[in-house]
Amino acid sequence: MDEPTQEQLQRGRRQKLQSLQRSGLRSIPAIRNQPAAAAAEVTPDEESVPVAAVPVVSTQAGAEGSQAERLRVIEQEVAACQLCPELVKNRSQTVFGVGNPDARLCFMGEAPGADEDIQGIPFVGRAGKLLTQIIEGSGLRRDDVYILNTLKCRPPGNRNPLPEEVSHCSGFLARQLEVINPEFICCLGAVAAQNLLGTSESIGRLRGRFHPLDGYQVLCTYHPAYLLRNPSAKRQVWEDMKILLKEMGLPIPEKP
């Protein structure tokens, strides 16, 4: 793949700074332990970049509008994002999120797949249909919850997200969750769980209990795609759902 141009790199930096500014960050310290090639691109003026110096389009909806309006502002920024050249080159469109903007519960996966990339909606393929069954089997509807991914673009070949890609999307994700302000987040699979919680523990060790994080109660379970390959793990996912429903104060249906 062609290397990104200097203009693309500069545009990507501006977009990252704008996202961080909207998250409340006012300045960015210099990164000292970077590779020599990357360090060579940093000029003295870039040692500490005041975020306020980056022009940002002001929008009342972004600051004071309804939750749905504020999410639309972030979604538009995501759609225009150019921070990951490989993802931008290969994506059909970005996949932001779907559901109730005032949901108590969010389901979070790792990244869009082929079907999601085409439709622009998370979890619409085979794994998505299974997630819908899990949600409905728990006595809820997809419209009751909010569904999103760690990454907003499909990685080529459905590979796992790279650390720098996760980092580029982290500001968007944090703002998205801040607007929705769910009480509970259910991480689907190791990639979502490890990146949200900042841990390297396996999903087998993380599941089955809550992890408090910044005011959220995070529960981890297996990804629906894993269940398609390992149907016997559905029993463990159902146990996780019962833990979640109990903590939410919701009735636990008969086993689906």
Domain ranges of the chain: 97-248
CA 129 to each of CA 40, 136, 225, 239, 246: distance values in angstroms, whole numbers, following the listed order: 48, 11, 10, 19, 24
Q: Strand, coil or helix: what is 185? A: strand
CA dist 15 and 20 (Å) reads 9
For the cut 50, the answer to whether the pLDDT of residue 131 exceeds it is yes
Give the neighbor-by-neighbor strand order of the sheet with 216-221: 97-99, 146-149, 105-109, 184-188, 216-221, 210-213
Average pLDDT estimate for 125-144: 97
Q: What is the pTM for the complete model shown?
A: 0.76
Please write the tens of the pLDDT for every residue from 58-115.
333 445 589 999 999 999 999 999 999 999 999 999 999 999 999 999 999 999 999 9
Please name every residue paired with 213 in a beta bridge, in sequence order, or none if there are none. 216
How confident is the model at residue 232, as a pLDDT? 97
Q: Over the chain, what is the mean pLDDT?
A: 82
Percent above pLDDT 70 for the chain = 74
Neighbours of 249 (CB within 10 A): 7
97-248 — its CATH code?
Answer: 3.40.470.10
Decide which of 5 and 150 is more confident: 150
pLDDT tens-digit profile of 151-193?
A: 999 999 999 999 999 999 999 999 999 999 999 999 999 999 9
For residues 122 and 98, is the Cβ–Cβ distance under 8 A? yes
Find the range with the poorest average confidence among 33-37, 66-70, 239-243. Answer: 33-37
Mean pLDDT of 202-208: 98
pLDDT at 254: 83
Contacts of 61 by beta carbon, 8 Å cutoff, 6+ apart: 69, 70, 72, 73
From 179, 180, 182, 199, select the one nearest 191 (Cα to Cα). 199
The residue with greater pLDDT, 1 or 155, is: 155
pLDDT for position 110: 97
Q: Is the pLDDT of residue 31 over 60?
A: no
Asked whether 107 and 145 are in contact (CB, 8 A), the reply is yes
Judged by average pLDDT, the poorest of 18-27, 70-79, 196-205 is: 18-27
Listed ranges 16-20, 33-37, 134-138; the one with the highest mean pLDDT: 134-138
Q: What is the DSSP pairing of strand 216-221 with strand 184-188?
A: parallel
